[in-house]
Amino acid sequence: MKFNRFFLMVATCLVTFLTTFNALADDNYRLHYGDAVFISVWGEETLQKEVKVLPDGSVTFPLAGRVDVENATTTEAQKRITDKLKVFLNDPQVTVVVTSVEGNKAYVIGKVLKTGAIPLTGPTTVLQALSLAGGFDKFAELNKIKVLRTVNNKQTVTSVNYERLIQGQNLESNLLLQPGDTILVP
């Protein structure tokens, strides 16, 4: 009998910790095109579904229809879906959980050993992304690297002089990458 109570207490603490940890982690992450989320409505068996964030930044969910979630946290996405479901359900309790972060990528192109997408599974700088790209080929112009970023539908360019950066100079050019950034190594 005491073992069952102890087990129940440990299980309750573990569930509370994991729920809190997941909520904190999800509230720091913003959704992007290509990400997958699991959406469920408590007490509504037919309203549980995994969906991907579409190229226009939305998800489609039964009864709620199209809901814009681009750059939203899971808490913000829950509120948006809840607001749309209130037309059909009395006090819907919506949960949104990130199941895949496929949309959280930056890209490295040009004279590196491995071009392509770099998954941003955590904070990633230009130097870290270049390392993930395997380094440079022998013809790379290390003082002419560029980071292309779209801000408010406008393209911005930041110059990165790799040789100065690894000497501890121009550290501000070692940008923290954002989804969609492209590092160009001429």
Measured between its terminal Cα atoms, the distance across the chain in Å is: 70
**Type of residue numbered 126:** V
Q: What is the Cα–Cα distance from 103 to 87, expressed in whole angstroms?
A: 31
The reply to whether 149 and 92 lie within a common domain is no
**Type of residue numbered 57:** G
Res 104: pLDDT: 86
User: What angle (nearest 5°) sits at the alpha carbon of residue 148, between those of residues 35 and 162?
Assistant: 115
Beta bridge partners of 116: 108
> Exposed/middle/buried for 129, CB within 10 Å: 0-12, 13-18, 19+?
buried
Which has more pLDDT, 186 or 24? 186
Condensed to tens digits (0 to 9), the pLDDT of residues 166-181 reads: 899 989 989 999 989 9
Res 14: pLDDT: 42
User: Which of 100, 126, 147 is at the close of a domain?
Assistant: 100
**Mean of pLDDT values over 153-169:** 91
**Angle, in degrees to the nearest 10, between helices 74-85 and 2-28:** 90
Range of the domain at 25: 2-100
Res 47: pLDDT: 96
Condensed to tens digits (0 to 9), the pLDDT of residues 70-116 reads: 989 999 999 999 999 999 999 999 999 999 988 889 999 999 999 99
The reply to whether 8 and 96 lie within a common domain is yes
The reply to whether 122 and 72 lie within a common domain is no
Name every residue whose Cβ is closer than 8 Å to that of residue 48 and which is 6 or more positions away in sequence: 38, 39, 40, 41
Q: What is the Cα–Cα distance from 93 to 7, expressed in whole angstroms?
A: 28
Condensed to tens digits (0 to 9), the pLDDT of residues 133-150 reads: 999 999 999 999 999 999
The reply to whether 112 and 49 lie within a common domain is no
Structural domain count of the chain: 2
Q: What is the Cα–Cα distance from 135 to 41, expressed in whole angstroms?
A: 47
> pLDDT over 70 for what percent of the chain?
85
